[in-house]
């Protein structure tokens, strides 16, 4: 064990040894024999190790061995030395430090060292350098506008992008009152700036509208965010604003809206032209029909209904929905509804009509999918023959009975039948009764199971008078109410007066 030398009553060193800011140590030759707590913290050692003596070699990183030997030689020759180097800790980490050593009187090479931990200073310098680089980028290179505005609403700093937006040079901005340079922006921007200054809370994605000298006479739109600038726990020193010009985005958005409106209008006209111009007249039957387009702007779909006479005098009622939306769905709807008429006129029953349609949609030159229901109605007897392909069941209303769904003849979606046979069902439209065909937009709602919508429909038509128009009105009022439909809706009602 190495004994500590007498400090010779040097009370002047007591204050240094108690320091929490400086590491203080004493040594003999190349061994540290006394140290304060700060030095032990810096070198990562404890007092048990200190009692044994800590070799200077153990504090020297491999890359600094030669420099340490040279420093010790300087100390022996000159009586003092100072250097910056990394001090090795026992756990293998190192600490950058400034070391100053002077020799003292006594046998051997006795010395006192003052050590300053530079690691925190280095971090601060690194952070300061990084922050300076960030600010320089914002001011010079960022593709967004940036400005710092004082509490009295003057420009303190702007970057080149913001200067270009406003139509003045960077130098012309600095120190100028914001709304002396940009009076047209006062109405939208000044309340925002004052709110941030008063509340100390930022505002994001604020739309600022107005003119600037950069483009005189043109109203422009900016998306801006405003943030209070303050020192920690101090008052607001100003407002930082970040802006991007969205004028072109707004213009394109308006053009897109107009284009979609024109497209929708054209599709609606096309779809209306493909619907029956007017319903047939028959002394023994009443008819009512309605088409409603979806609430969403581009969701015009392939829903249709139709009523035509077959060659044998029976009526062919059909409703369907071509899968998809837009031009393709409307085009598919046109092909399928026209094919229903053609096949029915040739004398095919509902099941055969659907089978032909399925084959048509599975052909290489006419790919697609659709749901459909086809009904043959004898206007004299009221006899019904029906078949469905993935479509909501028709509703039959019979006097004295609860309305019911015609579930007896449902097949796969058209285009997915795979050559399987469709089948027909039969029913009777009694005097005083009504039949309702519809597409799924009438009964489907987001977040609701289909059976709930069907129950709502059955309850509505069950309370309505038996006329076709009354049944249709009751169905629409109960199932849709005042809300616009989420999908296209077609409803076709036929009644047989008592």
**104 and 163 belong to one structural domain:** no
Query: 173: domain CATH number?
Result: 3.30.450.20
**141 and 160 belong to one structural domain:** yes
> Does some domain include residue 364?
yes
> Does some domain include residue 261?
no
Residue 488: per-residue pLDDT: 85
Per-residue pLDDT at 411 exceeds 70: yes
Give the whole-angstrom CA distance, residue 422 versus residue 351: 5
Locus of tokens 């491999």: 62
Helix (H) or strand (E) holding 335: helix 327-345
Mean pLDDT of 302-324: 89
Give the whole-angstrom CA distance, residue 166 versus residue 176: 13
Least confident of 8-22, 261-275, 376-390: 261-275
In degrees and rounded to multiples of 5, residue 354 shows phi and psi of -65, -40
Using one digit for the tens of pLDDT, what is the confidence trace for 182-238?
999 999 999 999 999 999 899 998 998 888 888 888 889 889 999 998 876 678 889
Give me the chain's average pLDDT, please.
Answer: 84
**101 and 210 belong to one structural domain:** no
Using one digit for the tens of pLDDT, what is the confidence trace for 321-375?
988 766 677 778 878 888 888 998 888 999 999 999 998 888 876 678 899 999 9
> Does some domain include residue 387?
yes
Give the whole-angstrom CA distance, residue 173 versus residue 154: 8
**205 and 349 belong to one structural domain:** no
Q: Which of 425, 427, 437 is nearest to 351 (CA)?
A: 425
Mean pLDDT of 41-66: 88
**175 and 100 belong to one structural domain:** no
**135 and 175 belong to one structural domain:** yes
Q: Contact 427/370 with Cβ under 8 angstroms? A: no
**153 and 97 belong to one structural domain:** no
User: 99, 117, 135: which is the final residue of a domain?
Assistant: 117
Q: How many of the other CB atoms lie within 10 Å of CB of 234?
A: 7
> Does some domain include residue 258?
no
User: 82, 117, 152: which is the final residue of a domain?
Assistant: 117
Per-residue pLDDT at 462 exceeds 50: yes
Per-residue pLDDT at 2 exceeds 50: no
**131 and 113 belong to one structural domain:** no
Q: Which of 463, 176, 439, 408 is nearest to 323 (CA)?
A: 439
> Does some domain include residue 262?
no
Percent of the chain beyond pLDDT 70? 87
- pLDDT confidence band for 466 (50 / 70 / 90): confident
As a whole number of angstroms, the longest Cα–Cα distance in the chain is 134
Percent of the chain beyond pLDDT 90? 38
Using one digit for the tens of pLDDT, what is the confidence trace for 74-101?
888 888 888 888 888 888 888 888 888 8
- pLDDT confidence band for 132 (50 / 70 / 90): low
Instruction: Count CA atoms within 13 Å of residue 492 on its CB side.
Output: 25
**237 and 282 belong to one structural domain:** no
Domain range for 368 is: 275-496
**83 and 201 belong to one structural domain:** no
> Does some domain include residue 174?
yes
Instruction: Starting at the earlier edge strand, list the strands of the sheet with 286-292.
Output: 286-292, 489-496, 433-438, 395-397, 404-405
The tally of domains found in the chain comes to 3
> Does some domain include residue 259?
no
User: 117, 152, 174: which is the final residue of a domain?
Assistant: 117
Least confident of 19-28, 274-283, 317-326, 461-470: 274-283
Give the whole-angstrom CA distance, residue 355 versus residue 414: 8
Least confident of 243-247, 392-396, 490-494: 243-247
Residue 190: per-residue pLDDT: 94
Using one digit for the tens of pLDDT, what is the confidence trace for 24-44?
998 888 899 999 998 999 999
**323 and 438 belong to one structural domain:** yes
> Does some domain include residue 221?
yes
Give the whole-angstrom CA distance, residue 119 versus residue 94: 10
Per-residue pLDDT at 3 exceeds 60: no
Query: 328: domain CATH number?
Result: 3.60.40.10
**329 and 294 belong to one structural domain:** yes
Mean pLDDT of 468-497: 90
């Amino acid at each position: 064990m190495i004994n500590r030398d007498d400090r010779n009553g040097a009370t002047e060193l007591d204050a240094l040894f108690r320091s929490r800011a400086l590491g203080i140590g004493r040594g003999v030759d190349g061994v540290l024999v006394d140290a304060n707590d700060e030095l032990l913290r810096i070198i990562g050692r404890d007092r048990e190790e200190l009692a044994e003596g800590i070799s200077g070699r153990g504090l020297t990183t491999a890359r600094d061995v030669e420099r340490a030997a040279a420093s010790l030689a300087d100390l022996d020759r000159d009586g003092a030395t100072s250097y910056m180097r990394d001090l090795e800790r026992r756990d293998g980490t190192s600490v950058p430090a400034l070391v100053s050593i002077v020799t003292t009187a006594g046998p051997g090479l006795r010395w006192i060292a003052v050590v300053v931990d530079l690691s925190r200073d280095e971090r601060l310098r690194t952070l300061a350098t990084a922050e300076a680089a960030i600010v320089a980028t914002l001011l010079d290179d960022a593709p967004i506008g940036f400005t710092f505005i004082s509490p009295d609403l003057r420009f303190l700093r702007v970057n080149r992008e913001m200067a270009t937006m406003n139509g003045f040079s960077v130098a012309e901005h600095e120190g100028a009152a914001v709304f002396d340079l940009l009076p047209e922006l006062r109405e939208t921007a000044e309340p925002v700036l004052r709110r941030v200054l008063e509340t100390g809370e930022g505002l994001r994605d604020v739309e600022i509208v107005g003119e600037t000298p950069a483009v005189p006479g043109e109203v422009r739109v900016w998306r801006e965010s405003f943030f209070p600038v303050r020192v920690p726990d101090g008052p607001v020193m100003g407002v930082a604003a970040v802006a991007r010009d969205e004028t072109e985005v707004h213009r394109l958005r308006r053009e897109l809206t107009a284009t979609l409106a024109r497209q929708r209008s054209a599709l609606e006209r096309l779809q209306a032209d493909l619907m029956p111009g007017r319903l047939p007249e028959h002394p023994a039957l009443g008819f009512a029909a309605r088409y409603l387009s979806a609430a969403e702007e581009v969701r015009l779909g392939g829903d249709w209904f139709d009523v035509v006479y077959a060659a044998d005098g029976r009526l062919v009622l059909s409703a369907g929905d071509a899968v998809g939306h837009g031009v393709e769905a409307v085009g598919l709807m046109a092909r399928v509804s026209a094919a229903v008429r053609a096949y029915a006129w040739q004398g095919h029953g509902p099941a055969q009509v659907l089978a032909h349609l399925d084959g048509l949609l599975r052909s290489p030159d006419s790919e697609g999918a659709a749901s459909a229901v086809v009904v043959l109605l004898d206007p004299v007897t009221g006899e019904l023959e029906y078949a469905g392909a993935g479509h909501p069941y028709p509703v039959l209303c019979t006097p004295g009975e609860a309305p019911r769904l015609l579930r007896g003849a449902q097949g796969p979606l058209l285009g997915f039948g795979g050559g399987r046979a469709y089948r027909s069902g039969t029913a009777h439209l009694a005097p005083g009764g009504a039949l309702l065909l519809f597409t799924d937009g009438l009964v489907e709602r987001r977040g609701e199971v289909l059976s709930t919508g069907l129950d709502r429909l059955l309850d509505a038509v069950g309370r309505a008078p038996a006329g076709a128009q009354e049944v249709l009105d009751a169905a629409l009022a109960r199932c849709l109410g005042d809300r616009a439909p989420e999908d296209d809706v077609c409803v076709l009602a036929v009644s047989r007066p008592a």
